[in-house]
Amino acid sequence: MLKVVQGFLLLLTICWGCSVQAGINEDLSNICRIVVNDDKGELRKKIRTLEIDYRLKLHDYYDEITCDGHSLLRTAILMDAQKVGILMIKKLPRRILSSPEPDGKTLQLWVEEQNLQNNKIAKILNQRM
């Protein structure tokens, strides 16, 4: 009887873990669209949902999400999505904002290379650093 209960608990734990992973993937799937559309209210809701449901903060999943090969902030800068870009700069810790992205370039270096220093998001980023 004890083995049956232990087996059931193991199966329940495995199934719950799979559904949590699927739920996170579903919740993160449209975050690029939110950034491209510059929908600050929807991004706030998404961040809040992930914090409540999965105990994840923006810095926990920021590095894992790319939009057409760019990070969320690079996408916001390229699309001139000022509202969501500024929100992410305020919410992300400086260590993430100053760390190199997968291509080895920091956000500030990338902004300079793309000649986007006059972008409002880039200016806010420089002020924060």
Residue-wise pLDDT tens digits, 10-28: 444 554 444 445 556 666 7
- pTM of structure: 0.75
The verdict on residue 18 lying in a domain is: yes
CB distance 70 to 108 below 8 Å? no
The verdict on residue 107 lying in a domain is: no
CA–CA separation, 97 and 89 (whole Å): 8
pLDDT digits (tens, 9 = 90+) for 68-122: 888 999 999 999 999 999 999 999 999 999 988 888 888 898 989 888 888 888 8
Q: What is the dihedral of CA 33, 35, 37, 38, to 10 degrees?
A: 160
Please report the pLDDT score of residue 91 as a whole number.
Answer: 92
Q: Provide the domain count of the chain.
A: 1
Strand (E) positions, the chain? none
Please report the pLDDT score of residue 25 as a whole number.
Answer: 67
The verdict on residue 100 lying in a domain is: no
CB distance 61 to 50 below 8 Å? yes
Find the domain containing 73 and state its range.
Answer: 2-93
The verdict on residue 46 lying in a domain is: yes
CA–CA separation, 118 and 111 (whole Å): 9
The verdict on residue 101 lying in a domain is: no
Residue that has been written with the tokens 């232990």 in this structure: 6
The verdict on residue 20 lying in a domain is: yes
